[in-house]
Structure 1
Amino acid sequence: MNEQDIRALCPTGPGGGYDWADCCEVFPRLRALETTPQSPRYHAEGNVGIHTRMVLDALLASSEFQSAQGERREGLFLAALLHDLCKPETTVVDPVSGEIGQPGHSRRGAVDVRALLWRAGLPFALRESVCRIVAAHQVPFFAFDSRRGETPEFIARRLSWGVELRDLVCVARADMQGRICVDQQARLDDIALFEQLAREDGCWDRPREFASAHTRLAYARGAAVHLDTPLFQPPGSAVTVLSGLPASGKDTWVAHHAPGLPVVSFDDAKAELGLRHGENDGMAAHHAVDKAKALLRRHEPFVWNATHLSDQMRRKTLDLLFAYDAQVTLVYLEVPATQLFQRNAKRDTTLRQKDLERMLHRWEVPLPWEAHEVRYEVMAGEVSARRD
C-alpha cells in the first residue's frame, strides 16, 4: 500500500464510481467488515461491509462530494470508506439480550487509520482531515442529545477548531443515509439542524472566531466564558510542550530552539534514577512532575519533553500547567515511518522496535484547541514542513 494506490481509489470526474475489490486490495482490513454483524435496530441492512458500500454510494450521490476537488474530495472519500474500519475489533454481543454494539469504534478507528495512512506516506493535512472525521463521524447525529451534557453550540465550535464541519456533516449524512433504521429521518433532521446551527454561528466552513487564544482555550476546556470577550490571563510560566513518537526529533528540537532553557523529561528522569524503558514509570513521572512544579511556582519558562502521544497523556500534563496559569505552546513533531524506525534502530535507547510499534495503537495527534498555540512541524522525506 502506498500513497498513489490510496489516491487512485477516489472517483474522479462527474459520475465516477469506485471499485470495492480495489478498496479491499489496498486496505485488506476492509474484508473483515463483510463478516461483522451490526445491531438490526440501527443497521437492518446487514453487515458492516454492506453498510460501508451504501455510505459510499450516498456520498458519491451528494452534491457536496460532486463539487469537491483535489485533496478535499479524496479526504471525504477516504473518511467514508474507513469510518467503520475498527468495528470488527470493537464488536461486543450482550450474552443475555443478544444486542450487538461496537463501543469506541470511532476513536479507535481514527488511531488505526492514522497509522495506516502514515505508513503509506499520505500527506499530513489530508491524513489528519480523514482521521478527525473518522473520530467524530457520529457526533452530528447526537449533538442535540449529548451524553456529556454539552450544548450543540459548544460541540460545533470546538469541533470547528479541528475539522471542517461541512466535511464532517457530509460524511455523517452519508453514514445515516447508508443504512436502514427506524429513526433514520429523525437523525437526518438532527444533522440538518446541526448544519444550520454551524452556519448561523459562523463555523460552518471556518473555525469559530474568538477574542483571544486564552479565551478559546478556556472555552474549549469547559469554562463558562463568552468567546467574543477577552479573558484575563494571570501571569505564569511560558511552557513549550513537545509531542510526538519516539525518534521524531524532540531532543534535536530542544537543542535548536530552546538552548539554555530548563527541560522536564521523563527520559531524563529515568536516566537520573537508573531506570530502563517501561521500568517503574511512576517513579520517573513523579520525579519529572516535581521538577515542573518547582519551575511553575517560580514562573520560569521551560520545555516539557515527552511523547505526550495520547489525549489522556497530554491532558495530565496540560491540566497541571493550566492549574499554574502557564502560557502553553504545544509543538507536535513527526517524521515519515521509514525514517522513524531507522532512527530508533540507530539510537542509544532501550526502546525496542516492537515497543514502538505498540505505541502506534494510542497515537492521537494534538488538536488545535488543546493549548494557547499548537504548532505542527512535520517532515516529509528530507523536507520539514511547518504548519501553524
Structure 2
Amino acid sequence: MPDATTRDIPSDAATGADLLAIARAEATPSHAIRERGLVEAIPELAALASTPQDPEWHPEGDVLVHSLGAADLAAAYAVVHGVDDDRRALLVLAALFHDIGKPDTTRRRDGRIISHGHAERGAQVIRSMGRRLRLPQSLVIAAAAITETHMAPASVQGEPSARAVRRLRARLEAAGTSLDDWAIVVRCDGAARSSAARPDASVPWVRVAQTLDR
C-alpha cells in the first residue's frame, strides 16, 4: 500500500483539474497557483522560477514572476470584458504558458540573456504537459498555437504585411482560437514587465486585420 506521503501527492489529472478551475474562475490566478502548490506540482512551472531574464527587458524578475503577472492581466481582462469561462481559461493559460519554453532555450551570450526559439519550444512543452495534466485537447491546441506565434511582432519592423496577418490569423483559427485571443496574450506579455512594460505589439496586426475585413 502507498504510504501517507505518496497518498498526499495529487495525481497529474487532479493537478490539471485544479489549474483549469483556477484559470476559469480566480480573479488573481497567481495567488491561487502559488497557494495551492501548483508551481511545485508542475515541473514545467517550477523550472520557470530558476530561469533568469535579461533585466533590461524584464526588470520584474524571473520567467515565473513574469508569467504569473501575465496570467493575472489576462484574468483581469476577462473580468472587465465579461469573457465566458472557457475563453477565460484559454487566455489565462496561454498567458501563463507563453514563455514555458524558456528553460530549455535560455542562454548567456556576450553578457546578455537570450532565449531564441522559446516560442516554438513552448508549443511543444504545452502539448506534452497538456496531455499529462489531462487538460482539454482543444484548449491545449489553442494555447500552443498562441504560444508558438506570440513572438510574431518581433519578426517585423513597423506594420506587418497583409500576407503575414492572413497567415497568422489562418494559423490561429485552424487551432481553434483567433487573432483577438492572440492579441490579448501579446498585450499581457508586454504589460507584465514592470518598469519595462511595452506598448501593445498586437495593435498593428489587429489594425491590418481590420482592413482585410472591409
TM-score of the superposition, structure 1-length normalised? 0.45
- Which residue number corresponds to residue 170 of structure 1? 184
Give the aligned residue type for 2:189.
Answer: D
1:109 positional shift: 0.7
Measure the CA separation in 2 of the matches of 1:65 and 1:135: 26
Task: Please tell me whether Structure 1 or Structure 2 has the larger radius of gyration of its CA atoms.
Answer: 1
Measure the CA separation in 1 of the matches of 2:90 and 2:49: 23
- Which residue number corresponds to residue 77 of structure 2? 62
Gaps of 5+ in 1: 204-388
TM-score of the superposition, structure 2-length normalised? 0.79
Q: 2:28 aligns with which of 3, 13, 17?
A: 17
- Greater fraction of residues in strand: 1
- Which residue number corresponds to residue 8 of structure 1? 21
Aligned ranges 1:75-224 → 2 under 5 Å: 75-94=90-109, 97-139=110-152, 141-142=153-154, 144-145=156-157, 151-163=160-172, 164-180=178-194, 184-185=198-199, 188=200, 190-202=201-213
SS state at 1:93 partner: strand
Measure the CA separation in 1 of the matches of 2:33 and 2:134: 22
Higher RCO, 1 or 2 (CA under 8 Å, sep at least 6)? 2
- 1:78/1:198 Cα in 2 relative to 1: closer, same or farther (>3 Å)? same
Gaps of 5+ in 2: 1-11, 173-177
- 1:34/1:120 Cα in 2 relative to 1: closer, same or farther (>3 Å)? closer
- Greater fraction of residues in helix: 2
Contact 1:42 1:181 survives alignment (8 Å): no
1:130 positional shift: 0.7
Identical columns (%): 29
Aligned ranges 1:1-388 → 2 under 5 Å: 1-2=12-13, 3-12=16-25, 16-18=27-29, 19-21=32-34, 22=36, 23-62=38-77, 66-94=81-109, 97-139=110-152, 141-142=153-154, 144-145=156-157, 151-163=160-172, 164-180=178-194, 184-185=198-199, 188=200, 190-202=201-213
Contact 1:143 1:152 survives alignment (8 Å): no
Give the aligned residue type for 1:161.
Answer: A
Give the aligned residue type for 1:200.
Answer: T
Q: Deviations over 1:65-105 (max 9, x none)?
A: 742213211111111111111211211001xx311001111
- Which residue number corresponds to residue 215 of structure 1? none
